[in-house]
Structure 1
Amino acid sequence: MTSRILAVAIMGALVAGSALAQTPIRLGQSLNGSLSAASPKADDGTPYDLYTYRGRAGDRVRIRMDSASFDAYLAAGTTAAPGCSDDCVYNDDGGGGTNSLLTATVPASGVLQIRANSIGANDAGSYTLSVTEAPAAPRPSLRQVSLNTPTQGRLGEDSPQDENSGQPYDIWLVKGRGGQTVRISLDANEFDPVLGYGTWSNGQFLETASDDDGGPGLNSRLTVTLPASGEAAIRLASIGSGANGTFTVTVGEPPAPRPIVFQTAKVGEAIRGKLDDSDAFTPDEEMPFDAYRIEGRPGQRVEVRMDSSDFDPILKWGVFDGDTFHQEAQDDDGGGGTSARLIVTLDADGEGRLVAASLDGSKGSYTMSLVTAARGSD
């Protein structure tokens, strides 16, 4: 047998083996399975079993995976293993605890592949997989957001889901003055939020702007100008399918800029500072910071350390051009733990510009020390 024929034969055997490994599952059925070191491996090396559900294109089904032995993970789409097609939806802990739960739409082929997976590559043990009929697709709530009033909502299994990504989302309406500029803030602690802005017309959201991580941490921020009618819509969603948790939306006047006031710090000093609402802040992320003018000898290498028990500090070094900061270096945890440590070189005038801030926009007290850097330090 030639090498080409042998290669074709091996490929055929692999395809056949893959097909045989797909276990059919019906609506209303619950099957027991087990993952082990001998299970097929997904692209990330984690073990999985592959199931197929046959139904009518466009039907929605709810898939649940429970295990007391490992952290379950589900994927479903036209192709679900070992990699996943573009229409795949995923879930880790949507079923409560470490169990998985997702809602999927049967593709045009009428065959939905389901990957019963684990989070860890070395996970093993038994599990139960079930498929039930999903309720009718929820409609967006179209809640009205009052200006300058933080309003709480929730994304979860009962939220509308994006047809392509499986992301839960909701649509809220905003009304203000025509031509009014507003800042939209979307904050969530339990998932990575993403914010869209546009109009709602004939049951469709038409997006004109979006933001993922423009706010502190993973939160979202958008500054937009309302149309002449003063009416607009915002889309509140998550990155990734299966998100569950509360979020807060605030729509109001953008915060008024505060002037940057430079404080002077000399090498050898120990400084006690505080980040609060009186400080300057970055326009997009609304993160307060203190700006320092460091004084020492021309060309002097200086070690700066920032510590805080109230927040995770970050130090930034660079040049200010008016209110614009051109960063040249930064450090977050170089001082050990959450402490920041940065070694910089003063310019020919024996000066430099330093920004002291928190990693996520938090406020509170901090200490900062400036000493001559030890020879050979970096």
Structure 2
Amino acid sequence: MSKSLLMATVALALVGGTAHAQQRLQPGAPAYGDLRQGDEQLDSGEFVDTWTFQGRAGDRVSLSMSSGDFDPYLLINGPGDFSDENDDGQDGDTSAALDLRLPADGTYRVMATSYEPGESGRYTLDFQGGGGFGGGRGPGVGVGGSIADRIGASARRGQNNVLQPGATVREALERSDSRLSTGEYADGWRFRARRGQTYTLTLQSGDFDAYLVARGPGGLSEDNDDDPGSRGSTDSAITFTAAADGEVQVSATTFEAGETGSYSLTLEEGGQVYAEERGSNGRYGRGPQPDRSQPGSSGAPIRVGETRDGRLGQGARTLSSGEYVNTFTLRGRRGQELDLRLSSGEFDPYLQINGPGGFSAFNDDDADAQDSRESRLIVTLPADGTYEIAATSYEAGESGRYQLSVGDGSSYRPQPMPNAPRGQGPGDGGSLRIGDTVGGALQAGDDTLDSGEYVDTFTFQGRRGQRVAAELTSSAFDAYIMLTTPSGNQIENDDGDDGTNSRLDTALAEDGEYTVAVTSYEAGETGSYRFSVMPSQGSPRQASVPGGPRVYAIMVGVSEYGDVQSDLPYTDDDALKLAETLRREGVLNPASVTLTNAQATVASVESAFRRVAQQAGPDDMFMFFFSGHGSQTDGEVSQVSAIEPDGRSEGIVLSDGEISDREMARLFGTLRTRLSLLVLDSCFSGGFARNVVDRPGVMGLFSSEEDLTSAVADKFEAGGYLAHFLRAGLSGEADGDGDTMVTAGELATYLRREFTTEVAGVEAETSEGQRNYQNLVIDRGGVQIDDVVIRLADNGRMGAGSH
């Protein structure tokens, strides 16, 4: 008889041997056993040990059995005639594994046995249950410990988990190591960081795709999959400047679940690894360690207003492409404008500055001086922190003396350049300043596009966050503008307000030189035109949005569910961290409410709605945020409609009950705010869209589709991916054009981009167990792309239309 046929009656099929007490399985704790003579046997002759655990409906569990003595086989049965079995966990692997969603509450019995009769020997049984497998957040899903909690548990063979600057540790991820709730093995390490010091962590392995996580003082939260300095590499590297003294906790893990193998982890102190590409040459890479006797080579500090003399040559640090480089460190402020100049009479200078958040800018020649042997950078710093300035050469091996100066860039204005020699008129191309208006003509002899249109080209210097309006008017032809950014992105416009003129009104997304092609809609059109690039305050919709503490928020996070549901990691922190982020940005109104765990009752949430809704007015933004369990229940037949086509109702699970999508719609109906945002990071949350986002001014952000679960973002130590990226987006990361306003379109674009990068491939499932992947749901309803979600505090940022 096959094992499959035994499943329904396995309790009756045990014969012979000595009866043994059934042993309990504990989630996360390996169990060890021994199949041998005297054990109970299946009637087909295999020895068997029986283990039990208590399960609840909806729980997901993972069971794996391994042995070096025999070919393992797993059987399980439970309430309601539930049964399953497994021989081999993976192709070519004799271990047995089961990943299950439990159908009912009750006791489940796990039979650890062998594939062939009479086999014996030792085995290990690993059990992840009650939400410890998969990271989902439906009923009973998603328990997992923080990386910090695992630091002590995963100490490696006498290393004591301590990293030393300049040293490399060589270890291995093994199946006996701690695991993230998403299935990746992880080793924990730590080191002491000093405020203002720059550190680089590098994780390398030839056996798996490396992934690094770093958490520490001053809000340090860094994650990296692939080293940006090595194209195609599966190594991982993180560089950061410590914002405060304290212990940094590091997790060395993998990109894919279940990967194992050897690795090396290196901690470097004192300078940034130049892993970013340098212009089109892509020449910045890791070179030898600098000779600290060279001026500037070891990150010597420099301040605004200072000038340093130095020398490139033998003994200095060398880039992988062969150029000598000296580095200097500068403490900068968010929004600070710098004028950096590197000059030399002995080599062709090249400047680069790197800083927090991946900021990088570089320059070869001073754009304001022809045939210059000077490199000049005008930059606006994106954040507070330590920046590194690299003084190097354009060609490999060049050496000689140089002078580096750091000046105040706030008064910089680009010098006009001679017009391009394509035509005779003053508007036939050339350099403009913002605020200039020129006249010109499209005519035979001008440059042409590939499609046959004549074109004049203008350039102007722009700064991130400046809002400008480029306008082209002509009575002779149908005007067309093409704006190209410093990084090569192109924005086009055909018609302005009157249909034949062209107008582009936009906030500039980066520092540098912008190019505008003035042309026509049809090929071969000619005639005179008037062209201007002017400061703009943007649309009245944006200009009228007030700043300050205008966000009235109810932020709810539940991790501790008691007997209601299984507990969840980090979901209460999601609410607390969001409140802190909005408070730090100066946008959170004091009337806002944060409720976590036992505070988050149905009555307290409804009461908070009444209080906050009463105070929030037509100039304000309201947000309801929830992170925790979601539910889905079958409704009455009469509920099948355009609003509930599946006849099911969705809800959010609080500490003592639920709020359904229909009840949430009723609560949102009491608001009279400029814009209202519903953010739910929970299973089945997409089902709220139809009921709530059905009125003007309401926008919905949901972590999953209507019938799918959501995952815990364990790698980010967040209850959910949406919660994690929402905080970053509302702190300015979503402000794509730098104008201090996060619009609905910007927020949606940012969240979709981050989900595509980080959440692609994260599994989800329906309540019936059908498998798919987690997908973000965004419903703007009647909210327009340019509607402002929040106006950030300036804090040195460039304001709209400012210089």
TM range (shorter): 0.3 to 0.5
User: Scaled by the length of structure 1, what TM-score is found?
Assistant: 0.44
Q: Which has the higher contact order (CA 8 A, sep 6+)?
A: 1
The structure that is helix-richer by fraction is 2
User: Scaled by the length of structure 2, what TM-score is found?
Assistant: 0.22
Larger radius of gyration: 2
